[in-house]
Structure 1
Amino acid sequence: MPTLTCAGVIAMAVKVIKHYVQLRQAWSSGLTAEARCLRTYTTTSRHSDNDRFRTTLHHVYEFTPPAGRPVRFAEEDGPATIIEGDFVTVHYAADRPEKATAHSPSPAKGAAAMIGMLCFLGVMLAFCVAFMATAHDMFDLADM
Structure 2
Amino acid sequence: MIENIQFDEGPMRDVFFLALPGLLAAGGIAGMVAAVVRMRRLSAVWRSGVTAEGVCVSAYVVTTSHGHGHGHGGGPSHSTWHHVYEFTTPEGEVLRFEEAGGPRTVVGGDRVVVRYPEGRPDRATAIPPGKRNENLLATGCLLAFLTVFVLAALSFIGFYLTVLRPGANAVEDRIKDTVRHVRESPQPGPTGGFPTGFPSGLPTGPPDGWPSDMPPPPPLP
Which interval holds the TM-score relative to the shorter structure?
A: 0.7 to 0.9
Overall identity of the aligned pairs, in %? 36
**TM-score (normalised: structure 2):** 0.57
Out of 140, 148, 162, the residue aligned to residue 123 of structure 1 is 148
1:60: Cα distance to partner? 0.9
Question: Do 2:84 and 2:98's aligned partners in 1 also have CA atoms closer than 8 Å?
Answer: yes
Out of 67, 72, 88, the residue aligned to residue 112 of structure 2 is 88
Alignment of 1:1-144 (within 5 A): 1-48=20-67, 51-105=75-129, 106-107=131-132, 109-138=134-163, 139-144=165-170
Say if 1:48 and 1:11 are closer, same or farther in 2 by CA, change over 3 A. Answer: farther
Structure 2: gaps of 5 or more residues: 1-19, 70-74, 171-221
For the residue of structure 2 that corresponds to 1:78, the secondary structure is coil
1:61: Cα distance to partner? 1.0
**TM-score (normalised: structure 1):** 0.83
Question: Do 2:49 and 2:118's aligned partners in 1 also have CA atoms closer than 8 Å?
Answer: no
1:142: Cα distance to partner? 4.5
Q: How many residues align?
A: 144
Letter in 2 for 1:46: S
1:49: Cα distance to partner? 6.1
Letter in 2 for 1:114: T
Letter in 2 for 1:43: V
Say if 1:116 and 1:83 are closer, same or farther in 2 by CA, change over 3 A. Answer: closer
Distance 1:83 1:112 in 2: 24
Q: Which has the higher contact order (CA 8 A, sep 6+)?
A: 1
Distance 1:43 1:117 in 2: 17
Which moved further from structure 2: 120-129 or 34-43? 120-129
Distance 1:85 1:22 in 2: 26
Distance 1:57 1:129 in 2: 33
Distance 2:94 2:42 in 1: 20
Cα RMSD between the aligned structures?
2.2
Distance 1:143 1:10 in 2: 31
